[in-house]
Amino acid sequence: MYLDVTRNDVSSRTAGDMLAWVRSAFSGGPNARTYALVGGAVVLWASWPALATVAHPAPPFLVLGLSALVGFLASYVNAVRTRSAQTFFSVPVGTMVFVAIGLMGNNAFYLTAISRIGPAEANVVHYLWPVLLVALASLVHRRSPSLVQTVGIAMGFCGVAVALSPQMGGGLDLFGVLLGACGALTFAVYSVGRSLAKVETNVVGPSLALAGIGALVAHVVLEPLHWPTNAQWAAIVLMGIGPFTLANVFWDKATREGSAATISSLAFLTPLVAISLLAVFGLGVVTTATILGASLTIMGAVFSAGRAKDT
């Protein structure tokens, strides 16, 4: 998922935007289609932890490589369908390499963290990326974060501490937490780089091919060879079609049709939706601490992004 909070997309009206979305979505107003697209993108992004848990214990680079290639094929089919195949491969090589490394690194760290600290907890740690993004954007623009942003950053880290508190009695895997944090930092760096590049074309679809090939090479070199089971294959294919492809298609359409501030603010609901899916399908242990931690992390992201225009 890519959310640019280094620009003016998210305003201090974030909470009000969410309430307006709920009222309009349930009233069937003229923006109902846009909100349906946003909701679809959020649910698809949120399905990633559940699908990754189903794919476990298949090696992370294998899962990432295969799902990325499926995503590439799905993206190309969509480009043919929308008659944009001619521009599909027009992305500069440097941009493709940067995006591929960002996607591969972010998801590899995240998949590995899941196996060590649990899918719900890894999801909360991963969603430090919005507050890390704001901190990095402040460094890039050589400006200090505002007081509101500083509070948001602190809330994000407090949320992670709360989510991990049940494991702090001696069973906390610090290396697993570090892996999750590295994934969040990788995605924050990637997002800042994408923002500065200002490339408006679809860069994710073409870059998935490069990311997939790179991940499969890493699998052969670094991991024991593995042939996925039927359930793992199903999860891998759904990852490639859903979070990697359709979610970005829905998001792109929504951002062209609706309010960027409202749409961006709704993306912060993704970690709670992800935890809900894990609980509903019995794929992870979801505790009160996890829910509270995720809520704090979301609030931290909202506070941090609330005055992104100041950075």
DSSP code, position 203? -
pTM surpassing 0.85?
A: no
State the Cα–Cα distance between residues 184 and 237, nearest whole angstrom: 24
State the Cα–Cα distance between residues 229 and 63, nearest whole angstrom: 12
Residue 3 lies in a domain: no
Residue 268 lies in a domain: yes
DSSP code, position 59? -
- pLDDT at position 5 is 40
pLDDT exceeds 90 at position 143? no
Contact between 185 and 135 (Cβ < 8 Å): no
- pLDDT at position 131 is 82
- pLDDT at position 180 is 92
Q: Which residues of 266-286 are buried (b: 16+ CB within 10 A; e: fewer)?
A: bbbbbbbbbbbbbbeeebbeb
User: How many domains are there within the chain?
Assistant: 1
Cis previous bond, 57, omega within 30: yes
86-134 pLDDT tens trace: 888 888 888 888 888 988 888 889 888 988 888 888 989 988 888 888 8
* Contacts with 247 (C-beta within 8 Å, 6 or more apart), sequence order: 1, 40, 41, 44, 45
- pLDDT at position 7 is 39
* Contacts with 168 (C-beta within 8 Å, 6 or more apart), sequence order: none
Print the domain residue range for 257: 14-310
State the Cα–Cα distance between residues 28 and 47, nearest whole angstrom: 26
DSSP code, position 83? T
172-218 pLDDT tens trace: 888 999 999 999 999 888 877 766 665 556 688 888 999 999 999 99
Q: How confident is the model at residue 309 (pLDDT cuts 50, 70, 90)?
A: very low
- pLDDT at position 57 is 87
For residues 59-73, average pLDDT: 94
Residue 8 lies in a domain: no
Q: What is the mean pLDDT of the chain?
A: 81
Residue 22 lies in a domain: yes
- pLDDT at position 203 is 80
Looking at the chain, list the stretches that DSSP marks H as alpha helix, in order from N- to C-terminal side.
14-27, 32-55, 60-81, 85-88, 93-117, 119-126, 129-140, 147-164, 174-197, 204-222, 230-241, 247-257, 260-266, 270-280, 288-306
Among 20-29, 56-65, 179-188, 286-295, the least confident range: 20-29
243-292 pLDDT tens trace: 988 887 787 677 666 655 566 667 778 888 988 898 888 887 788 898 99
Token pair belonging to 169: 């009695």
Nearest to 211 by CA among 77, 92, 69, 114: 69
Token pair belonging to 118: 């649990």
Residue 257 lies in a domain: yes
Residue 197 lies in a domain: yes
State the Cα–Cα distance between residues 299 and 100, nearest whole angstrom: 30
- pLDDT at position 43 is 92
Structure-model confidence comparison of residues 37 and 213, the more confident one: 213
State the Cα–Cα distance between residues 28 and 30, nearest whole angstrom: 7
- pLDDT at position 4 is 41
pLDDT exceeds 80 at position 237? yes
pLDDT exceeds 90 at position 239? yes
Residue 269 lies in a domain: yes
pLDDT exceeds 90 at position 35? no
For residues 293-305, average pLDDT: 83
State the Cα–Cα distance between residues 157 and 272, nearest whole angstrom: 16
- pLDDT at position 197 is 61
State the Cα–Cα distance between residues 48 and 58, nearest whole angstrom: 15
163-173 pLDDT tens trace: 888 887 767 88
Residue 7 lies in a domain: no
- pLDDT at position 9 is 40
- pLDDT at position 73 is 95
| End-to-end Cα distance, the chain | 21
What percentage of the chain reaches a pLDDT higher than 90?
26
- Single-letter code of the amino acid located at 294: A
State the Cα–Cα distance between residues 287 and 44, nearest whole angstrom: 23
